[in-house]
Amino acid sequence: MKKTLAILAALSSFALYGEQCNVSSSCCDNCCCGTPFISIGGGYSWSFKTSIKTGPFWDPSPQGYRDDLNESEFYFIGVGYHFPCVISASFELDYHPSFEYKRFQTSTANQTIGFLGDKTRHFRVSNTAFTFNLFLNKSGNYWSWNFCECFDMSPFIGAGVGVAYNTLSDFHSVLPLSTGDVSEPVRSIMVSNRRIALAAQAIGGFTIKLSEKLSLDLGYRWFYGGKFRSNNYTIESDNLNYTPHITQPWKGTLMANEAFASLSFSL
């Protein structure tokens, strides 16, 4: 979070030294002269370490359960409005298709029910988020620099809050064979589970105005995707008659650093 605040503060300081574009007083006096826009884009996401909480009925392990969710691409589309004086607002739909958790563990608990021994844990998390966002200078009308008389570039910052729809799927454990180079069939499967959670983001970047109607946004955002959890029972993949074993669900929180690019079309 400290890194995020530092980046946003730096972008704000750059803005103070930009060349302010002239905006007519009639535009600022008339709140109906703003511009609606549509944006579409995507990027890449790197998750933070996730402190998985499992409860006492899962194997204790020296490696623990704390690990990141690796990376995922993401895509988004938004509709918004550039108000006359600096502020813009948008509703945005984001989709992260697949964060993957993979953690090798040695076990020290032979007494654990359903004991598997050494294993590699796997699962995936997908995230769909709907957020309302506010921006400063996303329209590019203030604090802008002109390059070679070809295009204008302006810094912007923003933040948003909304709801997330998280799905934990493909939960399974894989056991190593004695040779160490081949894995046994998958064991201890969980059925997918979905959860609604809080979503939030802090955004900073640059708007490059390619024409009067078209602009390119490049930037960074800190993304909070909310809490996720697994189902509360497991089944064995090699025994179709296996009675599901009720257990405590895995719980975690999705947070990530993200780089993105998007195109905005003013209407």
- In 3-state terms, what secondary structure has residue 223? strand
Which H or E element spans position 13?
A: helix 2-16
181: pLDDT strictly greater than 90: no
Q: Would residue 256 be called left, alpha or beta, if left means φ above 0 and alpha means ψ between -120 and 50 degrees?
A: beta
Residue showing tokens 């064991």: 187
8: pLDDT strictly greater than 90: no
7: pLDDT strictly greater than 50: no
Average pLDDT, the chain: 81
Average pLDDT over residues 157-168: 97
Amino acid letter, residue 19: E
Residue 66: count other Cβ atoms within 10 Å of its Cβ. 12
What is the pTM assigned to this prediction?
0.80
pLDDT for res 100: 94
pLDDT for res 140: 76
43 alpha-carbon distance from chain centroid = 10
Residue 172's pLDDT band (cuts 50, 70, 90): confident
| C-alpha span between 88 and 154 (Å, rounded) | 14
Which H or E element spans position 162?
A: strand 151-176
pLDDT for res 146: 73
Average pLDDT over residues 11-30: 40
Handedness of CA 257, 69, 74, 193 (dihedral sign): negative
Which CATH code for domain 2-266?
2.40.160.20
Average pLDDT over residues 18-47: 67
| Helices and strands (H and E) in the chain: how many | 2, 14
**185 or 69, which is more confident?**
69
Handedness of CA 13, 16, 20, 26 (dihedral sign): positive
Amino acid letter, residue 54: T
